[in-house]
Every structure is written in structure tokens, then in C-alpha cells.
Structure 1
């Protein structure tokens, strides 16, 4: 199907995966100009109503979830007989590929990955969705090390009858729970069992059960007890070993009862790898007690002995009374000695060791409290938890109540539950992206967005200039990110210069200096002349780059080559600095001196 376009929008580029129900393609969203993953239902199932229904269940299940460790769903559709789901494209490896590439993981890395997976499972369970197919193949690892749970293809809303039908058990045989193998009741604890198997594989590099056939593996899940992970990895901390063993108990009632409870222990083991805090669930059914059987011989013996019992009853009463007195005297002596020893030891301890009292540390800054307690010889155990209401480092709970008296060394530790602050999310890099794509990326990061527009000469209109907070900053989930979007280059307003009386060249120069251009030159055909009119008129406002129409008056031809003075000069000889020449007869006649002249 590579090269095909679905929904007039999604271009299928290459096949990147597939399962029993569907094939996954890396695709390009041509509208938002981004990569997406599209899951296409296999053609052989497109006419099967049951498979189409299950395929749609996946879309509905994931669409109701919004969590950083769950792959986001963007769109659902069908084209002809092709049914598809558009999802977030994760550029990375599956956890299975990561394990195969790296081998057994460091236990701390495995715990951190498990916390992320368990957090996604917890979110799904709170939305009444059981995944039912938790396995490394369905965990995607981003290049930043973030785990994302995908493939809710067999997920189902939890009801009172969430039972897998015998003969159609769903899930991957190496990871599914005993109740899935039996076709029994499936609940949220089934997902936690599968997560326990995934943890087992992460720390040991192998699954606990394997066999020649799926049936053989399924039977082992039901019947056999797996070897503890420490058998294959002796250096594995006891705490990690205990968590895995509890998660993969055969009986649902003996496992973790919720993802939340499992997350608490996963966080604890990072600071207390030695363990000792993993509690064992107790089964609700009490064992049957076998009572001794009464037969005829018992009854006969009791009858024969009853007659002699009366004879000795008085003697036995006296003996019992004496024995009781001895016992009471002995017990009293022991108690007196114990009390004396207790007070003696207490006095000695008071003389050598200072006594302290536990205060109320809730709401205080952890760093200050830790320094104070450790200076008094009390070891502090840190348990960090996400908390929306308190800043990072604020103490939420303490294991010993206020007022508890202790002496240096009496208590080995004090557990303090400390806020990690609200759940945080990194602001994604959307600089240079189109506005709608940027908004979607912000939403995918579990943040909200608002748009602010501004002029920018370097960034095209409708594309992102920057964000506030900036890319990479960690902010509280749900926080608002302001996306600054370019409106393009800002066009400035200029005044039209006065061009009247200027030549065409002069007018062009004035307009250029004002960042304007000459438009039409009228009348047509005039190439040289003087501007006698302009549109728009002088001093009106225009935008840089606009044009101005000019009207020219043709210039007259230049002066002839005759040396005769101009009319103005002839009429005003004084302007030339010369005297009249007398070349004209009229000039001679008008001279009064000529009439008096006598010619000899």
C-alpha cells in the first residue's frame, strides 16, 4: 500500500511493523506536514464484523487516554474497505528490540522503565481499561528514553463479566497471565502479572517460561513456579527480586492489587534496593482443620475410666492448687527481675545517650530536615512521589509520628515521603513549524497553548518564531505555552514626496529615496518632460513599495545657434553691461544730439 493516500491527507511511506490484526505504516500527514504512524486493518479481516469491531475498540480505548507514556491517537477513518487509525509516530525501538540489542538491562534502568509502563497502566485502569497484552513488543522507546505503551487492539472496558472465552484466548503466550491461559476472569492484576514478566526479562535477558509450543508455555504459566531472577543474576538487589516475584504470583489475590501500589514499591526500591518493604498479600480463604475421629473404643474407654475418676478428683484438686501457687510465684519473680533489669538498663542508657523526640516534619523543606535528623543519628529514607499540590522537596508523610522518643541508634531509619512536585512535561521544539502543527505538538506533550502574532522579516507568515517558555523547559503538565507566530514582514507607511516641477529622473530619485516606485507615466509616449501632476498627491500616506503615477509636460527644444541676443536682453541692454550700438535708423533719429550736428 506504499504510496497510497488515505483520507485525502495521509501518504503511506513504508511498512514499519505489523501484527495479527493490522499492518503499521510510517506515513506523512500532508495537511500538518508531519510524520504519523497509521495502523491499517488487514484486508482479510476488513469484511469480518468481529475484527472490525475489535479494531474500532482499540481506537475508542486509546482516544479516551491522555498520558505521556501512552501513544496518542490522532484520527480514525475508513476508505472503501480499508479501516485505519492515525497515531503518534515514535522514532525509536520497541522494548523487545532494545533488550535484544543491549542484553539484560541494569536494574536501575529496568526499574525506571517499569515505573513509566506502570504509570501508563495505572492511567488506563483508572479509565476502566485493561490492556490485556502488555509485552516488550508493545512498548516503544523514544530516543530520549521515554517508554510509551501502544497496541490496545485487544483492550476492553472492564465490566463484571470481563472473561476471556476458552478457545479464543488473546495475548502473547510468553507474557500473559495464568487466568488468560485458563480462559478465566481478567482484571487489572492480569496486566500487572504481564508487567512482572516484562521486568523479569529486562533484568535477566530471558523470559521465565519457554517451550516447544504455545500450549506448553501456557501450561507452565498455570502449573510451574518460575526460578527467581537472582538465580540468573546473583547481583540483583533483593528488593527488585521481591517486586518481580510478587507481581508474577499465580493467584490474583497474592499479586499487587493495583498499579498504584506497585508504583509505590518501584519508587521505594530505587532508594532501598535491599528490600524488606514488599508486603505479601494474604489469601482470604482459611485452611480446613482436621478434627480427630471419635469411635466406639474411645467411648468405651471413657465410660470405664469415669468410675475411677471420682475417687481421685479430690486429690487432683489439691495437687492442682499447689501447682498453680508454685507457678504464680515463679512468674512473679521473673517479672520483678525483668522490671528491675529494664529500669537499670534505662538508667544506664540515659547516662550515656541523649534522648530526642520526632517532630512534625510535614510541610517542611526536606533538605533542612534531613540535615537536622542525621546530625542526631537518625537515618532518613527518601520516598519521592509526584504531587500536584506541593512544590518539589516538601515533606508529605513521615513513618514515625510526632512525639516519638528515640535515642541515638535505637531506630535504624525514618521514612519521609517527599514531593517531586507536579508531573512535568518538556516544551517540545516547534520553532519553524506551521501554527496548527505546533499546536498539536504542544497538545501531545500534555500542555495547552495560546497564539500571539507579531511581525517578523525572517519567518514566513503562520510559522512559529519562538515559544514561551522556550523549547526544552520543564513545566507542569497542563501549563500554557505561548506560541509566537509570524505575521510576515511589517510594511511601513511613508509620505509621498512633491514631484511637481521635477524631471522624470528627479522624480524617480525622490520616490526611490522614499521607498516608492514610479507607476504609470502619462500621457503615453512622452519620454522627457517636467512633472505637472502626480497621483497620489504630495504628502499623502502610502505603504513602502507602492507606486505613484506622474503626468509630464513635454520640454521645449533648446535655443538656436544664432548669436543674436534674446528679446529680453535686447530690450534691457543695461543687463549686458554694453552701450547701445546705433545700428538702427530709429535709434539715430531719436538721438537729440543728431539734430544739432552741423555738417561742413
Structure 2
């Protein structure tokens, strides 16, 4: 499979995992140039319609979810009878691997990971998806401690509260709920049971129930109580243990009813390690009928109850007690009940004790409530609760209500405000805009005003936030953010650079924040040396900042080599007008004669530039009887063109050149004899 390309897009790189139904590979998406995870149904199942349907159901279930704590589904496909799902590639470890490495996790780490799993389950449950296979193997933990739930392979859309599987037990035997083991109905509380088992393993390093076979483990889920986590890990907090045990209650109605309740307790524990949660323990009612499934047969249950048979026999024998003994026992019980009731009221101070009308405690301060209770000889049982509506240390509610009659000494239940709960503002800067609502929700905060602003940061990233990261603010406060719109694009009309000197053009490009591209030099009879002949973007065209502009610059007119002319032979004719008789003219005609008769040749001049670096400007002037004439001008890159510059010149006779570097005379004048 390694090297195979699926869907003309996903190139398989390596195997990274596998399960009972599928194998997971790391793959390269050649279209978006990123790594992804590809889950491929095992070959032996490609002819099994039920398994293919289950495989497709996974993609349909997970594809409807979009949450930071859920592994995203990107694509689904089929190629040459290969069924595959493309999902987010998460670089990290499974929670199972993390537990094996550490043995036991710290309380804070258990709470943090559990909250993230609960957030993922809340999102799934809100979308009517029940995972049904929550276990450490299906939780991925990244390097930055973000937990992501994966593998919705046996998830079902919860169209009703009852999901029955008559064929086989669904889920992993060490983690599934008692109702799954019985083939009863499963709902979101079944996922919470599995989360409780996962938290138990995080806290103790082991699963609560072990057995020689899957059936024996399933029976323990139904019938046995787990060893308390504190007996295996004395460092676990009492509150965290209560949460785990409440999640693992056999009866669905005794567990947390939804993820909201669980998150409330986990958040309370995160902010206050000594917080208390309500745990009522086991209730006796069964809230789902026992259904026989192949994994646990009648014989399995009968074998498990063989040890109870003697006890049942003893109970039957006891029913044969004489009727007189039964009547005596009933009569004695009635007497004891009457005595107990009398004693309860007598010793409790209810007989003969004056009655008191319960006053209004709601709205009073703690000190005022205590003083009023002492005055009326009433007891107080005080509990506290965070409240954003009632002032700190003031009574939120009371029980019994105002106006009811009670005996002196009766304990009044008061709920007193702890004020608004303070939470720490998370750091949002550089975070993606889409992640902000989830990060704030995890911190019990809400998203406030959102502004957009141009920035060098990529579009969609947070530039600033208010309040700042680390600040303590009341719970449910809003946090304002400023989001980057990306760099601002400045558009203007391209100026005309043609005919302007190169130095002046460079200053213009720098002022307009345009980038100078490669410069090409050409001979020109129309433009002087160093003047721009053409520009890559025409004048008056709209252009953005940081656009590259290519230029063509003049080298001046091209000097053509003159063909060699023979010198005219001496003549015996009478000297022409203006000739002094010695062959020396005294006017222009003599000079023209000389130009017409002198042969021009070409010579090279090598200019040494050892003392310079970078890009220099090189100008060469010809010294004539009328002054200086610029015959060569160019930019010379020492690093690129070397420390030597060669200048070819065509002429005749004796010529003198002056060489200038960056406007300064370079060395002595150069004399060339042609």
C-alpha cells in the first residue's frame, strides 16, 4: 500500500496504526501539499456489506462534527474496491500510550484531558451522535496538550433514546457500559460511563475490571463494584474520585444526565481542587430491561449465580416459620416503631417546644442572617454558591420559605453567594479566529466585540485582545479581539520613468515602495547614457506596492568601427588654398583631410577596481580640445562582475581618458596611442 495514490491525490507514506476494521496510514495530499491520515477498510471486509455500511456510517457521523477536540474528516472515497476516509493528521500520542508512559496522571492533567473529551462529547451529543467507543486508544493528545476524539466507527445517530443491537456487543469490552453489555438501550450517558472508565485508568494506570474472557469482563461491568481509585492511587482528590464513581454508576439514571452537568463539576474542580460534588451512590432501580445478546448468554449468567443458590435455598426455608412467630415479630416491630417515633420527637425537642415563624433571610448579609437566627433561636445550615446576580456574602435562597412555622432550634437551609466567579483570561494573540469561541468557552468566557484591522499577520489571526491574557475577570465576561485582515494593499498609478536618469528613477521607486527588478542595457541614439528607455509596467497603469519593475537603460549610441582607409600618396600639385606649402593646413579643410586619411583602430582599456565593493557607478570621459565628452557609463557589481572592468575604444592617434568611480576621479588619466 505504501506509495499508492488514492483518488489521484493522496499518496500513502507510512502505516501509523490499525484496528479491527481498518488500517490507518499517513499520507501526503498532493493537491493541498499537507499530511493527512487515511483510514482504509481491511481487504477481508470489502465484500461484507454490513461492515462497509458501518465504515461509511463513521464518515457520515464524524463529517457532521466540527470542533477543536474532534478529529476532522476531510474526504471519503472508494478506489479499486478500496474504501477510505481522509481525516486530519494529528501529530501526537494516544492517551493509552501516555498512560503507559506515565503510569498514573496527575489530578490537574486528568481534569484537563477529561474536560476536553467532555467538550467533544457535548458537541457530538448536541448533533445527536453517540460515540459508543470512548477509550484511551481513541483519544489523541498533541504536543500542546490538546485532546482530540477520533474513531466514530461504531457511532450511531441517536434518532431515539433506544439503540438495540441484537447481533453482538458493540464497543470495547473493558470500557463499554453495562447497558451495552446487556444489549439494552444506549444514550449519551453510555458515553459518559466509558469516559468514567477512561478517567479511572488515567488515575490508577489500570482498568477497573479484568477477566479471562470478554464475557467475564462484561459480567463484571453489570454486577461488580470497582475498587475505589483512592485505594490504588492515594494522591487522587476526593472530589475527582466522586466524579469518576458517579460516571461509573451501573444505573444510567444515577449517572450524570448529560455532559453539561459533568462539565460544571469538572470546571468547579479545575478552579477549586477542594470543591465538593454531589454523589448519591447507587440506586436500586434498573432503568433498562436485560436483553440477551450472544456475547453474554443465559448460561453465562447462570454460571455466575451458582454461588448464590445456597442462599436462595436458605431463604425458602426461612419462609416456613410458624405463623405465631411471624405475628409476634410484627407486633414487636410496631411497638419498636412507636417507641422510635416518640423518642425522635422527644429527644429532638419537638414536643413542647415553642414554634417560630421563619423570617425572610433572602437578601440579608451573612452577618445579618446569623444575628437574626440567633435572635429567633434557629439553627443555620449554610452552603455557598457563585452568583452573578446576588452580592457577595448575601443570601440567595432559603428553605423553609418565609412565613412557615418551625420549632425553636430548627435548622434553616441558607444558600449564600460567593460573588461572581473569577476566571483567568486565556492568551488569544496569534490564535486563529475560528478557534477563539471554543477557547473562550473552555475558559467559561464569551466572545465580545470583534474588529478587523490590516496587519502583517496572516488574515484571520488575532492581533490584540481586551482584557489581556492572564487577567482575572468574572466568569461569563466578554473578551474583545482585533482580527487581522492581512497586509493592506496600496494601489496607485504607475509614473512615467522613460527618459529619466537611472538614479532619479531609483529614488522614485523607493519612495513608492516599488521593487527594482533586473536592469537591461541597450544602445540608443535617442536616449543618453544611463537614461531609462522603457519600463515593464506602462505609465498610468494601476499598480500595488511591492510590485517588481523591470527597466531597460541606455548605453548611449553605438560606435561603429570604421573600415581601414589607405593614406593618400603625396602629390606634386600646387598646394590648395590655405596650404602653407609644407602640408600643414591653416583651416578646417586640413582637419577634414586628416580625418579622411587617418586609419581608426580599436583598443581595450582594463580598469582595476580592487579597492571597491558592492555596486559602483563607472563613468569614462574622452578629453578633447573642446572639453570632456562622456563615452561610457554603467553600474558595475564588484561581487558579480569582478574587480576588473574592460572598456573597448575605437579611435586614431593619441587619445586621453579620465575614469570616474561614483563621481570621483579614479587614478591618473589614461593615454591611448592608436
Instruction: Tell whether the structures are fold-level matches, with TM greater than 0.5.
Output: yes
Partner Cα separation in structure 2 for residue 479 and residue 189 of structure 1: 36
The partner residue of 1:469 within 460, 463, 468 is: 463
**Deviation of 1:464 (Å):** 3.7
C-alpha distance in 2 between matches for 1:150 and 1:478: 31
How far is 1:62 from its partner? 1.2
Q: Give the whole-Å Cα distance in 2 for the aligned partners of 1:532 and 1:71.
A: 61
Q: Is the 8 A contact 1:47 1:81 kept in 2?
A: no
**Alignment partner, residue 278 of structure 2:** 277
After TM superposition, the score normalised by the length of structure 2 is 0.56
Higher helix share: 1
Q: Is the 8 A contact 1:154 1:170 kept in 2?
A: yes
TM-score w.r.t. structure 1 length?
0.61
- Give 1:30's aligned residue: 30
**Does structure 1 residue 496 correspond to structure 2 residue 497?**
yes
Name the structure 1 match of 2:664. Answer: none
Equivalent residues of 1:469, 1:481 under 8 A apart: yes
Write the distance in 2 (CA, Å) between the matches of 1:41 and 1:370: 64
Q: Following superposition of structure 1 onto structure 2, how do residues 111-130 of structure 1 map, counting pairs within 5 Å?
A: 111-130=111-130
**Which residue in 2 is equivalent to 1:339?**
354
Per-residue CA deviations over 1:421-448 (Å, capped at 9, x if unaligned) read: 8997946668xxxxxxxx999999899x
Question: Is the Cα–Cα contact under 8 Å of residues 197 and 208 in structure 1 kept in the other structure?
Answer: yes
Task: Give 1:163 deviation, angstroms.
Answer: 3.4
Q: Given that residues 453 and 486 in structure 1 are in contact (C-alpha distance below 8 angstroms), is that contact kept between their aligned partners in structure 2?
A: no
The alpha-carbon deviation at position 184 of structure 1 amounts to 2.0
Q: Does the Cα contact within 8 Å between 2:362 and 2:396 map onto a contact in 1?
A: no
Whole-angstrom CA distance in 1 between matches of 2:280 and 2:120:
23
For residues 383 and 490 of structure 2, what CA distance do their matches in structure 1 show? 60
**Secondary structure at the counterpart of residue 36 of structure 1:** strand
Q: Residue 139 of structure 1 contacts residue 149 of structure 1 at CA under 8 Å; is this kept in 2?
A: yes
CA displacement at 1:137 relative to structure 2: 0.7
Mapping of residues 123-522 of structure 1, within 5 Å: 123-160=123-160, 162-270=162-270, 271=272, 273=274, 275=276, 277-280=278-281, 338-339=353-354, 359=363, 398=396, 414=416, 416=418, 418=420, 426=428, 464=458, 467-469=461-463, 482-485=483-486, 493-496=494-497, 498=499
> Which of 587, 610, 614 does residue 565 from structure 1 map onto?
587
Is the 1:268–1:383 Cα contact (8 Å) retained in structure 2?
no
Aligned length: 475
CA distance in structure 2 between the partners assigned to 1:222 and 1:531 by the alignment: 93
Task: Give, in whole Å, the separation in 2 of the partners of 1:258 and 1:557.
Answer: 96
Specify whether residues 440 and 62 from structure 1 end up closer, same or farther in structure 2 by C-alpha distance, changes over 3 A only.
same
Pairing of 1:549-564 with structure 2 (within 5 A): 564=586
Partners of 1:227 and 1:63 in 2: how far apart? 38
2:76, 2:84 within 8 Å by CA — same for their partners in 1? yes
Please report how far the alpha carbon of residue 100 of structure 1 lies from its aligned counterpart in structure 2 after TM superposition: 0.8
Conserved? CA contact 1:253–1:283, under 8 Å: no
Confirm or deny: 8 A CA contact 1:239 1:273 kept in the other structure: yes
Q: Is the 8 A contact 1:177 1:194 kept in 2?
A: yes
Alignment of 1:87-106 (within 5 A): 87-106=87-106
Going from structure 1 to structure 2, the CA distance change for 1:58 and 1:411 (only over 3 Å counts) comes to same
> Which 5+ residue runs of structure 1 have no aligned equivalent?
287-292, 302-326, 347-354, 361-368, 385-389, 431-438, 457-462, 500-506, 570-600
Which stretch has the larger CA shift, 145-154 or 65-74? Answer: 65-74
- In structure 2, what is the Cα distance between the partners aligned to 1:358 and 1:511? 81
> SS in structure 2 opposite 1:495?
coil
State the 1:397 CA deviation.
Answer: 11
* Contact 1:197 1:207 (C-alpha < 8 Å) held by counterparts: yes
Give the equivalent residue in structure 2 for 1:319. none
Residue 573 of structure 1 is matched in structure 2 by: none
Q: How far apart are the structure 1 equivalents of 2:381 and 2:258? A: 32
Residues 72 and 358 of structure 1: CA distance in aligned 2, closer, same or farther (over 3 Å): same
Q: Which has the higher strand share?
A: 2
> Are residues 476 and 61 of structure 1, via their aligned partners in 2, closer, same or farther at CA, if it must alter by over 3 Å?
farther
Q: CA deviation at 1:522?
A: 7.3
Offset, 1:107: 2.4
Corresponding residue SS for 1:194 = helix
Equivalent in the alignment of 1:107: 107
Give the SS at the match of 1:260. Answer: helix
Aligned partner of 2:333 in structure 1 is none
The change in CA–CA distance for 1:17 and 1:395 in structure 2 (over 3 A counts) is: farther
Encode CA deviations 1:266-297: one digit per residue, 9 max, x unaligned.
333443647462245755689xxxxxx9xx99
Aligned mates of 2:38, 2:366 — CA distance in 1: 51
Larger RCO: Structure 1 or Structure 2 (Cα < 8 Å, ≥ 6 residues apart)?
Answer: 1
> Which blocks of at least 5 consecutive residues in structure 2 are unaligned?
288-318, 328-341, 371-379, 404-410, 441-446, 471-475, 510-515, 563-582, 592-674
Separation in structure 2 between the aligned mates of residue 533 and residue 108 of structure 1, nearest angstrom? 70
